Amino acid sequence: MTTYILVHGAWHGGWCWHRIVAQLQRASHHVVAPDLKSLGRDRTPPEGIKLETWTEQIAALVQAQAEPVVLVGHSRGGIVLSTVAEQLPDKVRTLVYLTAFLVENGRSLRETAAEDPQSLVGPAMKVAPDHLTASVREELVREAFYGQCTDADVALARSLLVPEPLAPLAAPLRLSQGGFGSVPRVYIECTQDRAITLAAQRRMQAALPCRDRITLDSDHSPFFSHAEQLADVLLKI
């Protein structure tokens, strides 16, 4: 039995993994898909959220497992994977970046994302007046994130997306070869992604090469649009 911890991306919650959780559990694996603080059903106020907040939250879940885990992160969840691996390299069996931000030491997600001018995330973001959070413009939700998903999946997502705390996106990552760099990593790239374009995914992989690259002909949300294929990939990992 393998333990998988699934870390969702911006604006989402653990709910986005429901099909993947079910398929991994049917294969007799243990799966944890938490809501990061201030997201999903968690009501922690966003003004207190930093990257360290999410790192500590997921690190505690990793520490609670009896064996090293497979840590899977989607999109913005990639920076949480990296910082948790830096803290607990011996407790993470494999890092799996699902069309996720694989950010170099000393850089922030915001800096990395700025190098992807074709991404639709920038136009889709609506920053709150207090600059603590950003939400997604409803008219761009499907185009940016769910291009191959069913109308039912898009309706579900629209009803559950919540504002994203912005402070973690500006935090430079502090990573070392002996920590984060010692953990095997796999990148699952999505060729039809319009939130993190394939060119951006490839640039990040070139800067921080992974043990394996797996390619899905998917939009940004394969946990909906290619759930069976994604679950099969995770089972093989």
Per the CB < 8 A criterion, the answer to whether 36 and 7 are in contact is: yes
Q: Which residues contact 185 (CB under 8 A, 6 or more apart)?
A: 94, 95, 96, 97, 102, 208, 210, 211
Burial zone of 167 (CB within 10 Å; 0-12 exposed, 13-18 middle, 19+ buried):
middle
Structural tokens at position 111: 């800096």
Helix pair 18-26, 227-236: axis angle to 10 deg: 50
Q: Which residues contact 155 (CB under 8 A, 6 or more apart)?
A: none
Q: pLDDT tens per residue, the chain (237 residues)?
A: 999 999 999 999 999 999 999 999 999 999 999 999 999 999 999 999 999 999 999 999 999 999 999 999 999 999 999 999 999 999 999 999 999 999 999 999 999 999 999 999 999 999 999 999 999 999 999 999 999 999 999 999 999 999 999 999 999 999 999 999 999 999 999 999 999 999 999 999 999 999 999 999 999 999 999 999 999 999 999
Strands 164-165 and 133-136: antiparallel
Q: For domain 3-236, which architecture applies?
A: 3-Layer(aba) Sandwich (3.40)
> Domain locations in the chain?
3-236
Per the CB < 8 A criterion, the answer to whether 185 and 211 are in contact is: yes
What is the C-alpha to C-alpha distance for residues 224 and 122, in angstroms, rounded to an integer?
Answer: 22
Distances (CA, A) of 235 to 55, 104, 183: 25, 27, 18
Q: Mark whether 75 is an active-site residue.
A: yes
3-state secondary structure of 163: coil
What is the C-alpha to C-alpha distance for residues 195 and 157, in angstroms, rounded to an integer?
Answer: 15
Active-site annotation holder among 75, 119, 218, 225: 75
Number of Cβ within 10 Å of residue 41's Cβ equals 10
**Sign for the pseudo-dihedral over CA of 112, 115, 117, 118:** negative
